[in-house]
Amino acid sequence: MEFLEILRYLGALLLVLALIGAAALGARKFGVPGVTRAFPDKRLHIVETLMVGPRQRLFIIRRDNVEHLVLSGPDGASVIEANIPAGLAPGDRIAAS
């Protein structure tokens, strides 16, 4: 291969990579699902899950420092217990003195 051909291939590769980067930035800016950044101050998250059957699952969901126990299955979801005061985060432990 000649030097000019190699330079042309590298230029085409850089152009394609630049187009992919521009598409990713555009997707993030316009809020395409699955591409947007996660916000650090989310109000809602799943604390823990437990499979209780082949298609049933228990969730502990925390919202604004209040937890809710939810049973989810193929027929839908049910709130088992609501307004549970939030416990300690998984990494927070009280030191025994």
For 6-42, the pLDDT digits (tens) are: 999 999 999 999 999 999 888 877 777 666 665 667 7
Cα distance between residue 14 and residue 63, in whole Å = 45
As a whole-number percent, the residues of the chain with pLDDT over 70 amount to: 79
Reply yes or no on whether the pLDDT at 91 is more than 70. Answer: no
Count how many Cα atoms sit within 13 Å of the Cα of residue 48 in the half-sphere of its side chain: 11
What does the pLDDT read at residue 94?
45
What does the pLDDT read at residue 30?
78
Phi and psi based region of residue 34 (left: phi greater than 0; alpha: psi -120 to 50; beta: remaining)? left
Question: What global pTM score does this model have?
Answer: 0.50
Other C-beta atoms within 10 Å of 76: how many? 7
Domain ranges of the chain: 1-37, 39-88
